C-alpha cells in the first residue's frame, strides 16, 4: 500500500508537502521543462506588486559558502502582466498556485490582496512582509509586531482566500512576530525568509553586490530555520510551512518533525532544477523503507 503524502494547510489540500519557494521558481512555466509540475504539492509565484519592478542593479547574486546571496530587489512583471501573461499557463497545471505578493504601504498590500482574491486560479496568498513601509520611515513590516499586525489585518479584510504570512528571520523575537500575525488573521505562517548578509571583493575592496547587502539562502541557514520553525510551532496553533536550505527528503523530514506541515524548496532548484520532483520521490521511498504510512504522523513529532 502506497503511503499517504497528502497534507492540508489552512484548507489547501496538497498532494504532498513539497512546494516551491517564491523567487526561485519564476511563475512556474520557467521550470516546466525540468519538473513535472503536476507532481508537486504547490507552486508559489515570484513576488508580485501592483506595478512592474526592474529590481536592483547588477551584480545582484553571489555564491557563498553553503549558500548564496541575492539582492534581486523583488523584480517582477506586476499584477496586470501576471494576469494577462502568466496565469494562462498556470491554468493548465493541476497543482495549487499560491501567489506571493508585497507592497510599499498598507494600502498597496490590501489592494494586491483584493486583486488576487478575484482570481480563481490562485488557491492562496503568501504575504512577503520583509519590505520597508515607505510611509513609516522605511521600517520593515516584518520587523515590528504592531506594524506586521496592521498590514496582515488589512489583507485579511481584503481576501477570503487562505492567507499565509512569510516571516523574516531578521528579528529579535520570531515568536512575537508569529503571534502578532496569527492574532491579526493569518491562516498559516511560512518561515524563514532570507537572512541579511554581504560579501566583499578583497581585490577591489568593494562589496560584491551592487546593493551592498543581500538575502542569504541555502544550506547555511537551515539550522536557523529549523530552530525558528520549532519555536513558532510550539507557540502558535497555525499550520507552518518550513523554508530554509532544504536540499533533500531528509531535510524535509527534519522540518516536519520540528512542526512544519509543508515545506518550500528554493535555492536547491538553482543547483538542480528538477530537485523538487526528486524530493517527492525520495520522500515516498523513505516512508516505505521506514514503514511510515501517513506523512501527517511526522508533523511536530520531535521528541524533546
DSSP 127-176: EE--SEEGGGTTEEGGGSHHHHHHHHHHHHHH--S-EEEEPPS-SS-HHH
Q: Which three cell numbers stand for residue 147?
A: 506594524
Angle at 70 between CA 68 and CA 72, to 5 degrees: 155
Whole-angstrom Cα distance, residue 181 to residue 150? 9
DSSP 231-275: HHHHH--S-EEEESS--SHHHHHHHHHHT-SEEEE-THHHHSTTH
Q: Among candidates 33, 40, 68, which has minimal Cα distance to 271? A: 68
- Catalytic residue from among 131, 147, 155, 181: 131
Whole-angstrom Cα distance, residue 119 to residue 181? 24
Dihedral angle computed from the Cα positions of residues 161, 167, 173 and 175, in that order, rounded to the nearest 10 degrees: 40
131 classed as catalytic: yes
Q: Among candidates 167, 205, 198, which has minimal Cα distance to 67? A: 198
User: How many residues can be counted in the chain?
Assistant: 304
Annotated catalytic residues are: 131
Amino acid at each position: 500500500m502506497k503511503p499517504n503524502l497528502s497534507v492540508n494547510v489552512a484548507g489547501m489540500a496538497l498532494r504532498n508537502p513539497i512546494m516551491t519557494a517564491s523567487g526561485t521558481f519564476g511563475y512556474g512555466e520557467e521550470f516546466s521543462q525540468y519538473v513535472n509540475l503536476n507532481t508537486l504539492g504547490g507552486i508559489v509565484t515570484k513576488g508580485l506588486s501592483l506595478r512592474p519592478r526592474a529590481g536592483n542593479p547588477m551584480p545582484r547574486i553571489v555564491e557563498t559558502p553553503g549558500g548564496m546571496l541575492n539582492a534581486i530587489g523583488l523584480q517582477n512583471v506586476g499584477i496586470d502582466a501576471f494576469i494577462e501573461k502568466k496565469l494562462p499557463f498556470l491554468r493548465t497545471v493541476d497543482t495549487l498556485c499560491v501567489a506571493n505578493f508585497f507592497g510599499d504601504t498598507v494600502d498597496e498590500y490590501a489592494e494586491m490582496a483584493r486583486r488576487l482574491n478575484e482570481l480563481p486560479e490562485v488557491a492562496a496568498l503568501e504575504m512577503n512582509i520583509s519590505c520597508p513601509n515607505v510611509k513609516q520611515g522605511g521600517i520593515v513590516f516584518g520587523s515590528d509586531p504592531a506594524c506586521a499586525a496592521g498590514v496582515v489585518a488589512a489583507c485579511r479584510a481584503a481576501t477570503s482566500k487562505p492567507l499565509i504570512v512569510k516571516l523574516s528571520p531578521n528579528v529579535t523575537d520570531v515568536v512575537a512576530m508569529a503571534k502578532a500575525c496569527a492574532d491579526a488573521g493569518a491562516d498559516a505562517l511560512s518561515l524563514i525568509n532570507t537572512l541579511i548578509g554581504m560579501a566583499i571583493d578583497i581585490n577591489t575592496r568593494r562589496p560584491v553586490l551592487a546593493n551592498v547587502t543581500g538575502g542569504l539562502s541555502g544550506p547555511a541557514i537551515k539550522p536557523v530555520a529549523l530552530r525558528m520553525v520549532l519555536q513558532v510551532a510550539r507557540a502558535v496553533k497555525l499550520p507552518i510551512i518550513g523554508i530554509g536550505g532544504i536540499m533533500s527528503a531528509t531535510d524535509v523530514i527534519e522540518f516536519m518533525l520540528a512542526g512544519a506541515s509543508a515545506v518550500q524548496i528554493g535555492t536547491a532548484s538553482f543547483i538542480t532544477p528538477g530537485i523538487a520532483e526528486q524530493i517527492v520521490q525520495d520522500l515516498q521511498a523513505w516512508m516505505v523503507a521506514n514503514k511510515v504510512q501517513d506523512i501527517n504522523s511526522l508533523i511536530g513529532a520531535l521528541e524533546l
